[in-house]
Chain A
Amino acid sequence: MPADHLDWLRREGRIVVVGASLAGLRAAETLRAEGFTGSLTMIGDEPYEPYDRPPLSKGVLLGKASPLHTELPHRREIDAKWRLGVPATGLDLSAKRVRLADGDEVEYDRLLIATGVRARPWPKEDEARLDGVCVLRTREDAADLYRRLKAGPRRVFVIGAGFAGSEVASACREMGIEVTVAERAGGPLVGALGGVVGAVAADLAVENGVDLRTRVTVTSLEGDQAGRVRAVHLSDESTVEADVVVVSLGSVRNTDWLAGSGLGAGPRGIACDAGCRAFDFRGIVTDDVFVAGDVARSPHALFGYQFLSLEHWGNAVAQAETAAHNMICHGADRRPHLWMPAFWSSMFKVNIKSVGVPPMGEQIMIAQGSLAERRFVGVYGHKGRIVAAVSFDNTRWLEFYQRQIERGAPFPVEYPTVDRRPEGRQPVDAQFPDPSLPTHGPMVTMSGYSPADQQLVFHPARH
């Protein structure tokens, strides 16, 4: 791009950010911090300024934080036009216009898509409408669930023992509420961390009084005559009475609005290059459309250049900063987004943290601590090298393993460590479920090498 055009863009260009949450806000701040003085429009489907979501499944449910007060701190003034509570409904790449639900159209010179994900709803719509059937993604979801938990339900039923579902179960137990959790796999967190670690999470849940049902699916939700949910029917033909059901089946990427736009967007996200530029469905990179956050899938050098989709807080921040930087700089100054996947969770008073891509690992070694004590660092290996690590109440060592992943250090881990136990001397099968089986969604997904994600083109309607 000629320098004078870039200068003009930085000075008086129009940048539109679709998605007014963590990634959108951080991108906007970066644009301003790096000297963009043109017009900035922030479009968000929720009627709120950007807020933080991690507390919603933790402190908010316990009443320790208000769902209405998790606003993200602003790092700087961004001087933007806010279009909140109005979802984007379409994109015209050639006319460079975003269509809004209220019929308005917004023109852009550069576009950033950061529309994120939404909670995957219970697939049977009439059952999903029953009073007491909840999902947890937005601040309104959290306020609603908090209100229901506080009312003292006889039993809460959580469908899906991923991180969000397990955190909800943990909050319930902390409040003294009976809770049943149903999981298709053999234990909680299995999609994200494998069966070896899942077994620890299962013990943890059961010991804290969770009624954990594994290797079952929910077949139907039953309502009473007033339209309130009253029972859950399971594939093992058992029935559990519950007056709150939390559907925690992972998320759906908000790409529907891009159907027909020509972008490489689909159920697995929007493909972009390492510089955050979106691909169109032909696999050609676009010049003016960038992607960041949960909705993006981008190739990662450390993991064989497969496209990675990450639903991680830290990834959203880092990718937003990179995307914003690349939107307003010369080609030679662009940076790749090379974020090391990392996420954290807390449940039943245990801190869980992971780096790298655990589901890529075939084997796991407990390099430090002990599974039985539920304080350990597990290291995942793939084809002779370390690709991920997970810690239970052992966070402070994780930086070390992150560096091991970055330099492609060999697996198994041969050297001694300060807390190596006999159980950690040999690698074992990490026990990830067959990836073709649907589960609650592991939050880190390797999604192959194709940027086009043609599923969208041919099956746009259903996720």
Chain B
Amino acid sequence: MPQPTLLSRITDFANRANPYPLYEELRAAPVLHEEEDGPYVLSSYFDIEALLHDPRISSDARNLAAAGDDELAGDETGGLPPSFLRLDPPEHDRLRRIANSAFGPPHRPRRIENLRGDMRQTVKELIDGFGDERRIDLVDQFAYPFPVTVICRLLGVPREDEPKFRGWVDPLVASLDPAAGQDTGGEFQKSAQEARMQLGMYLAGLAEQRAKEPRDDLLSDLVNSEGPDGAMTMMEVLSTSVLLLIAGHETTVNLITNGMLTLLRHPEVLARLREDPGLSVRIVEELLRYEPPVQLVPQRTCIADVEVRGVTIPKGSRIWLVLAAGNRDPERFKDPQRFDPDREDIQHLGFGSGIHSCFGAPLARLETQIALSELARRLENPRLVEDPPPYRQNAVLRGPRHLNIEFDGLRD
């Protein structure tokens, strides 16, 4: 029997709980090309950083299809035109500019900050909801519901519609991560398809309303944008909303869950956070380095020959950028395997870099800072029930499926 390839070992579910030794092997061959029709896999911090700014690297879904798509690249928008995540400039730039004018400075400098109160309230309610339970699943009872509520407030989904909205999002998000052995052609996919359609129709209706009667929300800004780029078309609004929803959901769940897992494995840091909520800023940055919610970017191709460390990656090749490996590259970081929020230079590839760097980064940062500092403050003597916890199937958006935690009580 031939030796399994390093890539197949990385995608092998058996290695999900701790892929970091495999990433170390990966870095020993920083430009890895194991199989003729396989991707070129990049794992050094500096190489990844460079390629994320390289204009010969394309994110366009059409180029990827031409290069021979693979199972990891996924397709989150089904039926809708590609979102800006899957486009190159100039189309990417136009859509991202419009989206950005609805999301942050200079046009909406307070949009994220204004969600702070809602976020705090949601976190409080979720923790209060633990009630008398002294053993919870942090994923199902906290990390999973939290980002959906936030994205609803951001988009402008009325509160009375939130349960309905959540009802569509759940199967959709679940379909991104078919559990091992699940029938992927059957009911599961069908209900996701159905949910996608319902969600699309709902958002289209809401967007039409907002076009007539704008409110102070993101959807209103997307459909009424008056900048030099004009407004988005309805289809563009839909694919952008779905992108924000899907891309912003699983990643935030994982960041919060990986965060709590890491803190429970480093109780001295957890104790410090309890005393000093301000430490959450550094903790979240170090988490994005140490346990990034997006482990690798498998969606890039090169439109010209690109030379990296003496290896020529031929035009048309698929390229994987293993962010999580770069984040622990000893060429870049001192003591890279150590979780250390006190690092002098916390930098990371956790949000990518270049023109596709995470659009929702300011939102994800704030959500996770609030979530972790409140969990640290309110849970008395929290501890892991099992270590490692059970993981999701997904190797790209890697994180625990459940995180069972026991604690002695809730502080107010």
Contacts and interface: CB of A to CB of B under 8 A. Distances in A.
B55 A397 contact: yes
> For chain B, what secondary structure do more than half of its interface residues adopt (helix, strand, loop), or is it mixed?
loop
Contacts of A396: 53, 353-355, 357
B88 interface: yes
Contacts of A419: 55, 88-90, 93
A13 interface: no
Given A377-B55, A397-B355, 13 more contacts: A370-B90, A396-B354, A396-B357, A399-B53, A400-B50, A400-B54, A403-B50, A415-B304, A416-B304, A418-B55, A419-B55, A419-B90, A419-B93
Contacts of A400: 50, 53-55
In the A-B complex, list the 9 residue pairs whose CB atoms are closest, starting with the nearest.
A417-B55, A415-B304, A419-B89, A418-B88, A399-B53, A400-B53, A396-B355, A396-B354, A400-B54
Given A397-B355, A416-B303, A369 B90 contact: yes
A418 B354 contact: no
B56 interface: yes
Contacts of B357: 396
A375 interface: yes
B56 A416 contact: yes
A418 B303 contact: yes
A419 B57 CA distance: 11
A397 B53 contact: yes
A356 to B, nearest CB: 15
Contacts of A397: 53, 55, 354-355
Interface string A74-110: 0000000000000000000000000000000000000
24 contacts: A367-B55, A370-B90, A375-B93, A396-B53, A397-B53, A397-B55, A397-B355, A398-B53, A399-B354, A400-B53, A400-B55, A415-B304, A416-B56, A416-B303, A417-B55, A417-B303, A418-B57, A418-B58, A418-B59, A418-B60, A418-B89, A418-B303, A419-B88, A419-B90
Interface in A387-444: 396-400, 403, 415-419
Contacts of B89: 368-369, 418-419
Contacts of A368: 55, 89
Nearest to A419: B89
A418 to B, nearest CB: 4
A367 B56 CA distance: 11
> For chain A, what secondary structure do more than half of its interface residues adopt (helix, strand, loop), or is it mixed?
mixed
A387 B27 CA distance: 32
Nearest to A413: B55
A124 to B, nearest CB: 40
Given A369-B89, A375-B93, A399-B50, A415 B355 contact: no
B355 to A, nearest CB: 5
Contacts of A370: 90
B347 to A, nearest CB: 14
A373 B97 CA distance: 14
A415 B56 contact: yes
A373 B354 CA distance: 20
Interface of A: 367-370, 373, 375, 377, 396-400, 403, 415-419
Q: Which of B50, B53, B303, B354 is most buried by chain A, counting CB atoms within 10 A of its CB? A: B53
Contacts, number: 52
Contacts of A373: 90
A70 to B, nearest CB: 19
Interface in B364-396: none
A397 B55 CA distance: 7
Nearest to B55: A417
Interface string B53-82: 111111110000000000000000000000
A396 B49 CA distance: 12
A399 B355 CA distance: 12
A418 B56 contact: yes
Contacts of B93: 375, 419
Nearest to A377: B55
Nearest to B89: A419
A419 B354 CA distance: 14
Contacts of B59: 418
B408 to A, nearest CB: 42
A403 B89 CA distance: 21
A418 B64 CA distance: 13
Contacts of A398: 53
Contacts of B304: 415-416
Nearest to A415: B304
B307 to A, nearest CB: 10
Interface in B184-203: none
Nearest to A367: B55
B96 to A, nearest CB: 11
Contacts of A367: 55
Q: Which of B56, B59, B305, B357 is most buried by chain A, counting CB atoms within 10 A of its CB? A: B56
A398 B55 CA distance: 10
Interface in B336-356: 353-355
A351 to B, nearest CB: 11
B400 to A, nearest CB: 33
A370 B94 CA distance: 13
Nearest to B91: A419
B67 to A, nearest CB: 15
A34 to B, nearest CB: 15
A62 B96 CA distance: 27
Nearest to A368: B55
A173 to B, nearest CB: 16
Contacts of B305: 415
Q: Which of A370, A397, A417, A418 is most buried by chain B, counting CB atoms within 10 A of its CB? A: A418
A418 B86 CA distance: 12
Contacts of B55: 367-368, 377, 397, 400, 417-419
A400 B59 CA distance: 16
A400 B355 CA distance: 12
A116 to B, nearest CB: 28
A397 B93 CA distance: 13
Nearest to A373: B90
Contacts of A399: 49-50, 53, 354
A417 B55 CA distance: 5
A443 B299 CA distance: 41
Interface string B141-155: 000000000000000
Interface in B84-112: 88-90, 93
Contacts of B303: 416-418
Nearest to B63: A418
Contacts of B60: 418
A434 to B, nearest CB: 33
Q: Which of B50, B55, B90 is most buried by chain A, counting CB atoms within 10 A of its CB? A: B55
B319 to A, nearest CB: 13
Nearest to A395: B355
Interface in B299-321: 303-305
A419 B54 CA distance: 11
Contacts of A416: 56, 303-304
Nearest to A370: B90
A175 B138 CA distance: 52
Contacts of B53: 396-400
Contacts of A377: 55
B317 to A, nearest CB: 14
A377 B50 CA distance: 17
Interface string B171-188: 000000000000000000
Contacts of B49: 399
A399 B353 CA distance: 11
A170 to B, nearest CB: 14
